[in-house]
Each structure stands twice: as C-alpha cells, then as structure tokens.
Structure 1
Amino acid sequence: MSVKNLMVMLVTLVTATASQAATMRCAGGIIATGALQAEVLEQCGEPDSRRLTPRHIDPDGYPAEGSVTVEHWAYGPSNGMVRELRFIDGRLVHIDSSRR
C-alpha cells in the first residue's frame, strides 16, 4: 500500500470518528449533539445545575465580534453517573458522562 493511500485512509477514519454525534438517554427519549436547548428540556427536563458564560460585551455595550454564549448543564448523579452538557448559543455541542 502506498503512503498516499495510507494517508487517505487515515484522514477518512479520523474524519468519520470525529463526526459521530454524542448522545444521551433521557426519560423522554434520546438527545444528540446539535439539539437545541428547548429540545433537551423537553426530552430531559430541567438540569440539576446550570452555569452561564455570557457573550463578551465591548466598551460600547455591543457583543464583541465572534463572542458566544456558553452554557453548561449537569444532570445527576443518577446511579453514580453525572452527565454534563455544553451549549454554544443555545445548541448542544458536547456531552460528557462520568462516574462520581
């Protein structure tokens, strides 16, 4: 196998692995990265905790260019499992599960 073919296969594998959506099972169904906050609330209910990092505001009182609102939600512990969700501008971008 040539080096070029090997590199193409490696890039394809990495891209395919990175593009898989993370999911979380809730009482109302399964949510996945890409979901809106309203969808997560509908499926999973209110989180046990929330932490908000608002957009950066410039000295003129306007949101700074490129700034985003980041919100972290936590569900649990439920049977020792804590699920942490990260939203950017209201869209779920990351789900992390850990035992505590």
Structure 2
Amino acid sequence: MGKTNDLLDKSLAENREMIGSWGSNAHRLVEKSRRLEIEVESPYAERKSKIGERLNQSNMAAEAIWRVKEKKMLVHQEDEEDQVVVVERRVIRV
C-alpha cells in the first residue's frame, strides 16, 4: 500500500509540475501577445487616424452636397407651388 501511495504522490507531483509549467507558459504567451498587439498597432495608429480624417472629410463633403440638393429641392418645390398658384389663377380667371 505504501508503494502505491508513493507512486500516486509522485504522479501527483509530476502533474502539478506539468500544470505549473503550462500555467507559466500560458502567462508568458499572453504577455507576448499583448506586446505584439502594441507593436502591431503602433505603426497602424497613424494610418488609422489618416483614414479617420479622410472619412470625416468625405462625410463633410457628402453633407455639403446634401445641403445643396436640399436647397435645389426647396427651390424646385417653391417653383412647383408658384406654378400651381399660377394654374389656379388661370383656372379662376377662365
């Protein structure tokens, strides 16, 4: 019985050691991946900001174009209303 307990203790100690090494390896891998993320993101940070600026500029341009279209639509509506008024006046005169 003592021999079995010794084997179990030895096996348990080996398993704990293996699990401990897995844990430390996992911890090292996590730290390494964090460092790599920082290293990878830093060159792209400037690129991201440039892309953001371009998007902002294109959004502003699109908004300006929309404002011009809105004004044209308003002018067109006013013209239509004027025409309707003119037509109503003509109908009334006839």
TM-score, normalization by structure 1: 0.28
| Structure with the largest fraction of helix | 2
Structure with higher RCO (Cα < 8 A, 6+ apart):
1
Structure having the larger proportion of residues in strand: 1
